[in-house]
A and B are shown apart, each in its own frame.
Chain A
Amino acid sequence: MLEIKNLHVEVEGEGTEILKGVNLTINKGEIHAIMGPNGSGKSTLAKIVAGHPEYEVTKGDIIYNGESILELDPDERSHAGLFLAFQYPVEVPGVTNNTLLRESYNTIAASRGREELDPLEFDDYIREKLELVDMKADFLERSVNTGFSGGEKKRNEIFQMAVLEPALALLDETDSGLDIDALRIVADGINKLHHEENSVVLITHYQRLLNYIIPDHVHVMIGGKVVKSGGKELALELEEKGYDWLESLATVNGEAK
C-alpha cells in the first residue's frame, strides 16, 4: 500500500537534510508503530507523506498503491485516502468543525466515487462518529481546534479520521496529552476504525498506547533513518533500554551511515 524508498528530505530552500534515506513498507491491513527520540524525523516523515510544502524530497520516492505521489498536492493525497493526524493540530478560527468536515467529506467522497451527503444525511452520519470518540455535539459548531484543550485537539483529529475513513492513517503522537480515560477511548476508536482494508501508522513515544492498539510492526527512527524494525516486543525492549543501544546503528565514525 505504501512504500517509502531511500527517502531523503530537506527543509525547502535551506539544505538541511532531515530524512537521510528512510525505507519503510506498509501493507494493507497492517498497523505500524514508529518510535524514536525527539528530533529524529518522525513528524517530518509523516508530513512529507501528507505533502507538506515546507519539505523537499531530494532523493528516493514515496509509492502509494503502486504510484509515486511526490507530485500530488496534499488535497489530492487526501482524496487518494491518506490522512495525517497532526502532532500539533492547527487552530482555524472562524471555520467550524462541521463546515470543515462536510466540505472535506464531500470532496473526498466525490473524488472516490462515493455518494455525497446532504446536510441532513451528513448530520446523522457525523453523530454516529462523534459517539465513536465520545465527543460532545457542541464541538461541531466550534471553530476547528480553536481554544480546544490539548487532549480535545487530539481527540478531534481522530474524530476527523473517523468521518473521513482514510485508507492509510498516519497518527502523529495522538496519544500525547490524552488523559488515561481519553487514551482508552481514542485507542478503542482507532481499533474500531481499523479493518483489513486500511492501514494505520502510529507515531508514539509510549509503549502504553501499544497495549491498546497492537502493532504488527514497530520501527525505530534515529537521525533521520529507520535503524531497527521488529515486532511488538521491540517496543517493550525500548521501554526498558531506551535508545542508547541503537544510536550506534545510526552513525558510523560520527557520519550518517
Chain B
Amino acid sequence: MAHPTRIEPSILHKLAKHLPENGSARWTNVRQKSMQQLNSTQFPHKKIEEWRFTDLRPISRTEFTHINDAGTYKASDIEKYFIPESDRSRLVFINGRYNETYSSIGGLGKGVTVGNLSRFPDDENVLEYLNNLVNYDDVFTLFNGLMFEDGAYIHLKEGAKAEAPIQVLNLYTGSEKPFIANPRMLVVAEEDSDVTIIEDHIGLEENSYMTIPVSEVKVKQRAHIHHVRIQRDNENAFHISRPIAYVEKNSEYHSYTITLGAKLTRNEPRVVQEDEEVDFTLDGLVLIDGEQVADTHSVMDHRFSHANSHQLHKVVVNGKAHSIFNGKIFVRRDAQKIDSFQENRNLLLSYDGLVNAKPQLEIFADDVLCSHGATVGQLDPEEVFYLQSRGMTEEKAKEVLTYAFALETIENVKVDSVHKLLIDEVYRYTKANSNPKVTA
C-alpha cells in the first residue's frame, strides 16, 4: 500500500507507515479509501470556521509514536472499573486493542452478538456498515479509518433484548512516549431490539496519548438504544470522538455524554434521521477545570417528519478551562412536525474560565417547534445567600448548587451503578471546585 504523502502534521504521516494488516479485504479497502482521502485533507486550524475556538497545536506539536514503540505499561488493578450489571457483558480494550482476559461475554441472552470486530471480519453487517455510516471527513476520523486494528461489535437480531447493559471499557495505559489509540465501535440493532451500552474511556496514568474513538450505530425500525458515554481520560490526553447514529422509523436513540477528563476534547456526536416517527436524545455534561479544553460540535439532522429530539448540554467551567459548544440542528424541507429542544447551559465558577456557545439552527420546513437557547452564568449570589442563611458555609452552598446544576443531565442514566458512579464523579468535581480558583 502506498504511503500517504500529504498528511499533516508529519507525525501522522510517519505513523501511517505502520499500517495494520489484519481484517478482511473489506478492511484493506477501508484503509485504502481513508488514505486516499487523507492525502487530500488538511489538518484543521483556527482559520477553519469549525475549528475557530479550538487550538490543535498541542496535538500537532506532540511527538506521537506508534503504539508498538511507545513503551506502554501493563494495565493493572482495573477491575474497579467493571460495572456489576455487566458482569457477563463486558468488552475491554486497552489502547484500542481487544483484551480477552478482562472481557466477559455471554450473559446477554438470545440474538445478541457481542465481541471484537476482528473476530467478525466478514460478518454481513460488518461488510455492510463498517465505515459506511461515518460521514465525517476530517483528518482524525480518516486516521482512525487507516489505523484501527479492532473495535467493539454489537449486533442484536430482530426482537432481541439484551438482558444486561453492555460495558465497552476503553482503557489507556501509561507509556514512555505519547501514542495514538484508534478505538472503533459498530452497533447494529435490528427491528424491535433493545440494548443499553455503557462506553467508558479511562486514562490509567498521567501520560500523554490521543484517542480517536469512532463509533457507528444503526438503530433499525422500532429498536431502542440507550447509550452512555463517559470520558475519563487523564489530564494530558487528547480525546477526539466521532459517534454517529442513524435512526429508522419508530426507533429511539438516547445518548448521554459525560466529559470529565482530557486536556483537549473534541466530541462530535451526530444523529441522522432516516425515517419518520423517531425520538432521540443527545445530552451532555461537561465538568472541566485547570487548563482543560472541551469542545462539542454536534449535529441533529432531521430529514423526515415527526421527530422528537432533545439536547441538554450542561457545562461547568473552573480555573482557566474553556468550553466550546456548537449545536447544529438541521430540519430539511420535507421534515414537518418536528419537536426539537436544545439548551446549552454554562456555569462559570472562575474569572478565567471561558465559554463559547453557538446554537446553529438551519430550518427549511415550516411546521416545526424548535426551542433553543444558550446561557452563561455564575452561581446566583441570592441562592448562595439563601443556603448560607440556612446554615451552610459558603463553600458548601456553592458545592450544593454546582452539584444540583450538574445532576440534571445524568438523571436519565438508567443503569444504577453507572448513575451512582456519575453522581460520585459530579460530587468529586464539585467538592474539588467549590472554592473558586482564582488564577493569576
Q: Indicate whether A and B interact.
A: yes
A interface residue numbers (CB < 8 A to B): 50-54, 73-75, 77-79, 83-84, 86, 89-90, 92-95, 99-101, 103-105, 107-108, 111, 143, 160, 164
Q: Do A164 and B390 touch across chains, with their CB atoms under 8 A apart? A: yes
- B389 touches A (CB below 8 Å): yes
B389 CB contact (under 8 Å) in A51, A54, A99, A111: A51
B interface residue numbers (CB < 8 A to A): 380-383, 385-394, 396-397, 400-401, 403-405, 407-408
Known pairs A93-B404, A94-B405, A95-B400; A53 contacts B389 (CB<8 A): no
Q: Do A86 and B386 touch across chains, with their CB atoms under 8 A apart? A: yes
Residues of A within 8 A of B393 (CB): 73, 75, 107
Q: Do B401 and A74 touch across chains, with their CB atoms under 8 A apart? A: no
Residues of A within 8 A of B381 (CB): 53-54
Residues of B within 8 A of A103 (CB): 390-392, 396, 400
Q: Do A52 and B391 touch across chains, with their CB atoms under 8 A apart? A: no
Residues of A within 8 A of B401 (CB): 92, 94-95
Taken together as a complex, chains A and B put the C-alpha atoms of A83 and B403 apart, in Å, by: 25
Taken together as a complex, chains A and B put the C-alpha atoms of A94 and B405 apart, in Å, by: 7
Secondary structure at the B interface, as helix, strand, loop or mixed, is helix
Taken together as a complex, chains A and B put the C-alpha atoms of A83 and B385 apart, in Å, by: 12
4 nearest A-B pairs in the assembled complex, by CB-CB distance: A94-B404, A74-B388, A90-B386, A104-B391
A92 CB contact (under 8 Å) in B383, B391, B394: B383
Taken together as a complex, chains A and B put the C-alpha atoms of A65 and B402 apart, in Å, by: 35
A74 CB contact (under 8 Å) in B383, B385, B400, B404: B385
Q: Do A100 and B387 touch across chains, with their CB atoms under 8 A apart? A: yes
Q: Do A92 and B389 touch across chains, with their CB atoms under 8 A apart? A: no
| Pairs across A and B, CB under 8 Å, 27 listed | A50-B389, A53-B385, A73-B388, A73-B394, A74-B389, A75-B391, A77-B389, A78-B388, A90-B380, A90-B383, A90-B385, A92-B383, A92-B386, A92-B404, A94-B401, A94-B404, A94-B408, A95-B400, A95-B401, A95-B404, A100-B387, A103-B392, A107-B396, A111-B391, A143-B404, A160-B390, A164-B390
Task: Give the shortest distance, in Å, between B386 (CB) and chain A (any CB).
Answer: 4
Task: Give the shortest distance, in Å, between A228 (CB) and chain B (any CB).
Answer: 29
Residues of A within 8 A of B396 (CB): 103, 107
Residues of B within 8 A of A92 (CB): 383, 386-387, 401, 404
Task: Give the shortest distance, in Å, between B4 (CB) and chain A (any CB).
Answer: 50
Known pairs A92-B404, A94-B407, A95-B400; A107 contacts B391 (CB<8 A): yes
Residues of B within 8 A of A52 (CB): 385
